[in-house]
Each structure stands twice: as C-alpha cells, then as structure tokens.
Amino acid sequence: MSDFKLADRLSTLPPYLFAAIDKAKAEVAAQGMDIISLGIGDPDLPTPDFIIDALHVAAKKPRNHQYPSYVGMLAYRQAVADWYKERFTVDLDVTTEIVSLIGSKEGIAHFPLAYTNPGDLALIATPNYPVYGIATNFAGGEIEYLPLLEENDFLVDLDAVSNDTWAKAKMIFVCYPNNPTAACATRKFYDRLIEKAKEFNVIVVSDAAYTEIYYDPENKPISILECEGAKDVAIEFHSLSKTYNMTGWRIGMAVGNSNLIAGLGKIKENMDSGIFQAVQEAGIAALKEGEPYAERFRAVYKERRDVVSAALSKVGIQHRVPDASFYIWCHTPKGYTSSEFVTNVLKQTGVVLTPGPGFGTPGEGYFRISLTVNNERLEEAVSRISNL
C-alpha cells in the first residue's frame, strides 16, 4: 500500500461537528425509524419547466457545445445587469462589474486566492456558511471571527471591532439574509460597514444568496450595492440556486467593484472554463421570466414557516419568525446543549435538525430548521416534536 500524505492545508479544516449526529442518524435508521430531515438547505421544489425547456433548446445548438468563457456570455451578464437594475435599482457595467460563477460557492471559494497572502487577516461574521473560513485557510490566511448576537439582531457589531483589527484586516465576510440565523441587514448597517471598510481599506465580501426568499414584499432584503460607496469596497456573490430552485445547475454571479471582479476573474481564467452555455441560456430565461415563479415559491415557504413557527411556539421553543431565508433559528430548550437536544430529538422522533455550533461557536444554544421539505412531511415532523 502506498502512503500518500494529504497536504497540510487539509489538516486546517475545522473539526467535523456533525459526527455525533451522523452516528445517531445511522443508529435510528438501523432501528427502522422513518427519518425526516429538516437539516438540508436545498430547495425540494423542482426547477420551473420553462427553465428546463430553455435548456433543451439551448443544448441543441452546436455553438453551445464548445468551451464557454469563464467571464460568462455577454447575454448572461446583461441579464444579470438587468435583474440587478430591476430588483435593486443598481447599475452594473456588463463588461467590468459582473462575472459568471459555477454557483456562488465556487466564486466565494476562489475569491481569497486572488486577494489573500499567507498571514493576511479575514474577518468572518459567525455563525456562518463554512466556505468563507475554509477558503481563507486554503489561501493561507488568518481568521478572526466576529460573533453575531441576538441582542444585535445578528448584525456584526462593527464598532466593537478594534481599530487595530480593522487595520490588519484584508477582507470581511458578511451574509444577509443570513444563513443560519435568518437575519436581514439594514441600510444603516451596510452604510456603516462601507464607512469602516473605506477607512481601513478592507474588502467587503457580501453573500446575498437569499435575497429572494422573503416574506414581506413591502420590506424586501436589500443588496449592499444599493448603498452609497459600496462599489468602492464591495463584491457581492449571488446565485440562481435558491431563487429558482436551481441548486443542481451550478450557476451564479459575482458583481460589484471592478478591480475585485477582475481579480476573481484572473483566478477563474486559470482554473475553470465557465458555465455550460446551455445552462447560461436557461439562466437568462430564469432571470428574465422567473419572478412569478419565485413569488409562488415564497408563498410555499411562507405557509411552511407559519406552520412550523406556530408548532414551535406551542411547545415553547423560542425562535424568531424569519423575514427572509428558508431557515428558522431556534433556541435550544433549557438544560440541553445544542448537540444534546438535536441528538435527543433525532433518537426519539427521527427528525433531523442542525445544531447551531456546526456554523461556529456563537451557534451554541441554537439549532436550525430548514423549510425545504413538503407540507405533509413538515407537519409530520412538527407533530412528532410536539409530542416529545
């Protein structure tokens, strides 16, 4: 047997926090219990037919069978620009301020390679999507985690970060609407973030994957690019995945500061060759004509949110009713750690929840419910938990 030693960068990966849950899940499944997973952040609803039809047509065109460009078809970038204009009243230059992504995870994972030297500091708002930290580690960067606390509505307390830390930081990662806490950014928060970033020459990385999963059309989540001066410091990652139920398709975009877009583009130019053009054509259809469908999906999530929220209140599980995202961030009942509670629920009911610390230390005392299962299963899960 050969003994190939893994590269050191893989030993910097954080410990796998779901090991206990996975073990319990295997045990429960072995007993024949019916498992309902409220753990996965992946829409269960299918991609709308008109998008699939657009793929069919586009896949038949021979010119789509050749290498695409990493930057994305002009028509795709134009559709992104039109969508940002329509949705956020943000103007984007199609040639310099947009790059296509093979899903926003791809872009987020590659971005630190363009701007992080070994030892450079990244600030990461936590609990968080794990890719920010892993990508920073892979690029050799250092991390300081900034806790998202309920008393601050899960917004980063920007003024609690010392000037010394700001001065050392190369970039800051934020995600609103937030996964996992479901919090939304205010304009005031983004304004202050831009101010700090300008003062200390820090790159703002905004992960905006959930802006279209909202519940109050009068109070839609905003893009940081709506705020004055954002283009001086910010790159925003967005995606068709959550909006149009297209997680499997791998299509997204980075938009914003033209230098940052060019830097990310340089990495991509050397690592990948873009998105299959037929998928881009389907993406164009989604961006142009997807809004009525997105509206229907929001109605589905809203119904689910209300069913689950009412049931949680009934059993005394404290939580905020989310304004956006398809997650509910809940307090663990007194007397349990997150992991103990989640394991206990799984063993007794077969319902899988995600323990908060899986997203970072400040997630202790919380668990996450995902609303990505159908009503029937959701009601079944909720009724089992109610009978605990």
Ligand X SMILES: *Cc1c(COP(=O)(O)O)cnc(C)c1O
Contacting residues toward ligand X, per CB under 6 A: 41, 103-105, 129, 175, 179, 207, 209, 239, 241-242, 247, 252
Of residues 175 and 230, the one with the C-beta less far from ligand X: 175
To ligand X, the closest distance from the beta carbon of 237 in angstroms equals 7
The nearer residue to ligand X, 105 or 304, going by C-beta atoms, is 105
Beta carbon nearer to ligand X, 211 or 239: 239
CA-to-CA distance for 53 and 49, rounded, in angstroms? 6
> Closer CB to ligand X, residue 200 or residue 215?
215
CA distance linking residue 64 with residue 41, whole number of Å: 31
Element (H, E) at 367: strand 366-370
CA distance 122 to 173: 8
CB of 235 to ligand X, least distance (A): 14
CA distance 176 to 237: 11
Q: How far is the CB of 88 from ligand X (least distance, A)?
A: 18
Question: In the bound complex, what is the minimum distance in angstroms from residue 315's beta carbon to ligand X?
Answer: 27
Instruction: Please give the Cα distance from 221 to 206 (Å, whole number).
Output: 13
Q: Which is nearer to ligand X, 104 or 343 (CB)?
A: 104
Backbone angles phi, psi at 205, to 5 degrees: -105, 110
In the complex with ligand X, the residue whose CB is nearer, 40 or 310, is 40
Instruction: Tell me the C-alpha distance between 239 and 63, whole Å.
Output: 25
Phi, psi angle pair for 352, to nearest 5°: -95, 125
- Is the Cβ of residue 211 or residue 241 nearer to ligand X in the bound state? 241
Name residue 255's beta-bridge partners.
98, 236
CA 32/CA 183 separation, integer angstroms:
37
* Closer by beta carbon to ligand X, 126 or else 179: 179
**Closest approach of ligand X to the CB of residue 126, in Å:** 12
What's the token pair of residue 69? Answer: 């460009």
Stated as kind and residue range, the H or E segment containing 254 is: strand 252-256
Least Cβ distance, residue 175 to ligand X (angstroms): 5
Q: How far is the CB of 248 from ligand X (least distance, A)?
A: 9
Q: What is the DSSP string of 150-198?
A: GGGTT---GGGS-HHHHHHEEEEEEESS-TTT-----HHHHHHHHHHHH
Nearest CA to 257 out of 239, 235, 273, 225 is that of 235
Least separation in angstroms between CB 143 and ligand X: 17
